[in-house]
Structure 1
Amino acid sequence: MSRPRPARLAPLDLLGLGLMGVRTRPARAILSGLGIAIGIATMIVVTGIPASSQAALLQQLTALGTNTLQAMAVPEDGRPAQLPEEAVSMVRRIRPVTAASAVGNTHTLVRRSDRIDPDDGSGLTVLATQLDLLPVINARIRVGTWLNPATAQFPTVVLGSVAATRLGITDLPPDQARPQVMIANRRFTVVGILTTTDLSPDIDRSVLVGWEAARTELRFDGHPTVIYLKCAESEIDAVRGVLPETVSPERPGRVMITRPSDALAAKQATENSFSVLFLALAAVALIVGGIGVANTMVVSVLERRGEIGLRRALGATRGQIRGQFLTESVVLATAGGLAGTALGLLATIGYATWQGWPLVVPAQSAGAGVVGAIVVGVLAGLYPCVRASRLTPTQALAAG
């Protein structure tokens, strides 16, 4: 006569057994769930808050011009450095380039008045400028206005921040006549002053004249000296490689291209260091949470040996005992994971809002909060559930 096979527990019955330990010991269940919740919340916080801080930092680095290059002419045989007149339009045809502008050296001196020594230019440069220069170099007007299609054709200038200080023109009161400076014995009216330009300090020491006014008033030849351009950051190395031939097909060797700014290297290093930090801190948080659940489950097995012996005596199999304690472990970890994910998200949102950072919560971190809790629950419950299933009815009842 064959022995009857033990009945298999339905998933809902197994879940009920797993929840029984949680219901009978709610305080311990809450403390155990709190341990894993703190671990998962830590994982969310240590990824979300640094990611938001990183986003704010990268915005500042990008403002310095990590997607900007400069092409400039190299003097040769004592001749002035200059680029072809059509160089800017050629640069704009490069597919990844999003904006390009230029300035040209007029090789003239600027003076505060005609009483200053004609050979004293205060160390400043007079540059012819194209009207779309400001957005390309991330420059802004501090006072006054920028050149427009009308004023760019007349003797008007915009001063860089250093140039304004050296010429003694630091403000443009609206109720007073605009000051004038002398360039090549011609008077030019100051219509604006720039803020300090972090990306292009040479602009700070320059007096900017409209391209057409420079041609008519200063005999400017129309050849740009420096070309500024913006392009897709991921394509910056490729653009840099083709710029010399594009700017000056006949003499590419006379074109010097600036390397990507140091801010770009700092940005890339920041991304790498933050990624390593995220992984390390998240791993520590999960390990701490898993240890808490494992400890709770081991103690639960020791305290419930009488219950285990009774169930074994009534016919429960080792597999059913393993399933009960493994389910309880997963339930505790999952509940803690859900609570920890919610807590971590709230903490990240609150801190990022308080700091004024852009809110960045890695989606993988939020999803990994719950999935990781389930995995941790399984791993933490393996030893306790195997230990419980190995207890014979007599051993369990005697110990209980």
Structure 2
Amino acid sequence: MTHRAHPKRANPTDPTRPVRLAPTDILRLGLLGIRTRRMRAALSALGISIGIATMIIVTGIPASSQKALMRELSALGTDTLRAEPQPDQKPPVLLPEAADAMAARIGPVTLTSAVANTHAVVRRSDRINPDDSSGLTVLASRPNLLEAIHAKVGSGRFLDPVTERFPTVVLGHEAGRRLGFDTLTPGQAPPQVVIGNRWFTVVGILEPAALAPDIDRAVLVGWESARANLAFDGHPTVVYVRTAEPAIEAVRAVLAQTVNPAMPGLVQVSRPSDALAAKRATENTFSALFVGLAGVALLVGGIGVANTMLISVLERRKEIGLRRALGANRAQIRNQFLTESIALSTLGGLAGTTLGAAATAAYAWSQHWPTAISPTTIAAAFTGAILIGMAAGAHPAIKASHLTPTQALAST
């Protein structure tokens, strides 16, 4: 009966037994090449940082430009709808008094406002012909009208929940020009106009309203003030709705039924702005551009790291051969060079993300754009640098580990 020989167990005290390196030892070995070759390590990290900075810059600057463009397109009413009675109806169609509040119940709607024609006449003074309205319309307005139509006050202030109850008005840009009031001067007595037979104080003048040209030719009176002083019946003539852009078509489909359930067919709803289609096309184009630019930048960075580590292996063959002759195994050599590659990529990634973010912010500031560098982009760039270092350093590390002591020491 034969007995199978048992494999010889390694003696822990055997001086020829390979030493198992702890992770901290591998880290020290990996950083050894960086410490002893500081200039080469600095140039290598610089190359990596330039690649990562390029990635952030070539994605951050277009993103900032896109954000500025999206802001301009949004100002053209990409999220705004307008509902009003069909014109030339006899008798005229009246929207419910709470039409704007009813529209606010639609889920994606974020804001509603309204104006109403009071059919009153505005004059510069009571000495002007009562029938001469200068082509201006007196509208009752909700306090949040400006937010709904993306308009701004040029001078003075707009109606608020307090002033809307008093005989005060805000003039549209063209209305102010026709009435002879271009601006309001702080510290001076505000001008007044006559509406019907009542004097109203002008508290504000608007800038041109690109989305609502009819507001430019209007004199805006508070809703409650119009009820009290102008015999206003409370029925809005135009309801403005702002909604989440992705749902604007769905909101438009139900808006007429919502603001006038009794006669939805007699309600006219504006179609989404053409700027919305342009905005969506721009977003898709920029998304594809970002992916392409980021991919090119990562590829350039990876080639730089791989080239640096391959040259490092060729230059340090003596060191590799000596370590192999002293008992270092393949795994230890491989881990040493892989650790060095990751360390270089980490240093380059930190410098590159800082440099890229600073350059992007500076350029966006010079162009008066909002800076668009998301934390996700920075995290992806830094993580990408480390992954590139691992991938690019893998082949040189494996190549170094397969060198025999004689090969390494003989290739000098």
Q: What TM-score, normalized to structure 1? A: 0.82
Structure 1 window deviating more from structure 2 (281-290 vs 9-18): it is 9-18
Q: Cα distance, 1:126 vs. partner?
A: 3.2
Partner of 1:13: 25
1:162-205 Cα deviation digits (max 9, x unpaired)? 1222344324566567353575xx46545142221223221012
Q: Cα distance, 1:252 vs. partner?
A: 0.8
In the TM superposition, 1:174-253 aligns within 5 A as 175=188, 178-180=191-193, 186=197, 188-189=199-200, 191=202, 192-211=204-223, 214=226, 220-233=232-245, 235-253=247-265
In the TM superposition, 1:1-400 aligns within 5 A as 6-75=18-87, 77-107=89-119, 121-144=133-156, 146-147=158-159, 157-172=169-184, 175=188, 178-180=191-193, 186=197, 188-189=199-200, 191=202, 192-211=204-223, 214=226, 220-233=232-245, 235-351=247-363, 360-400=372-412
User: Secondary structure, in 3 states, of the residue corresponding to 2:92?
Assistant: coil
Residue ranges of structure 1 left out of the alignment (5+ in a row): none
One-letter amino acid of the structure 2 residue matched with residue 303 of structure 1: E
CA contact (8 A) 2:123 2:193 kept: no
1:81-110 Cα deviation digits (max 9, x unpaired)? 532233233223444444433222344655
RMSD: 3.6
1:4-47 Cα deviation digits (max 9, x unpaired)? 77554433333333233223322111111110011112223334
Change in 2 beyond 3 A, CA 1:152/1:25: closer
What count of residue pairs does the alignment treat as equivalent? 398
User: Secondary structure, in 3 states, of the residue corresponding to 1:69?
Assistant: strand
- Separation in 1, partners of 2:161, 2:337: 79
One-letter amino acid of the structure 2 residue matched with residue 16 of structure 1: R
User: Secondary structure, in 3 states, of the residue corresponding to 1:228?
Assistant: strand
CA contact (8 A) 1:92 1:99 kept: yes
Q: Cα distance, 1:364 vs. partner?
A: 2.2
Q: Cα distance, 1:71 vs. partner?
A: 1.1
CA contact (8 A) 2:84 2:269 kept: yes
Change in 2 beyond 3 A, CA 1:314/1:215: closer
Q: Cα distance, 1:326 vs. partner?
A: 2.4
CA contact (8 A) 1:43 1:365 kept: no
Q: Cα distance, 1:340 vs. partner?
A: 1.9
User: Secondary structure, in 3 states, of the residue corresponding to 2:240?
Assistant: strand
Structure 1 window deviating more from structure 2 (373-382 vs 95-104): it is 95-104
Structure 1 window deviating more from structure 2 (390-399 vs 323-332): it is 390-399
- Separation in 1, partners of 2:120, 2:233: 12
Change in 2 beyond 3 A, CA 1:394/1:161: same
CA contact (8 A) 1:329 1:377 kept: yes
Residue ranges of structure 2 left out of the alignment (5+ in a row): 11-16
- Separation in 1, partners of 2:96, 2:401: 85
Change in 2 beyond 3 A, CA 1:308/1:130: closer
Structure 1 window deviating more from structure 2 (157-166 vs 204-213): it is 204-213
One-letter amino acid of the structure 1 residue matched with residue 149 of structure 2: I
User: Secondary structure, in 3 states, of the residue corresponding to 1:202?
Assistant: helix
One-letter amino acid of the structure 1 residue matched with residue 58 of structure 2: V
1:320-361 Cα deviation digits (max 9, x unpaired)? 333332222222222212222233344445555666655543
Divergent runs of 4+, >6 A:
1-5, 113-120, 148-151
User: Secondary structure, in 3 states, of the residue corresponding to 2:373?
Assistant: coil
- Separation in 1, partners of 2:166, 2:409: 103
CA contact (8 A) 1:159 1:190 kept: no
- Separation in 1, partners of 2:27, 2:180: 82
1:146-175 Cα deviation digits (max 9, x unpaired)? 456787677764321112223443245665
- Separation in 1, partners of 2:376, 2:211: 36
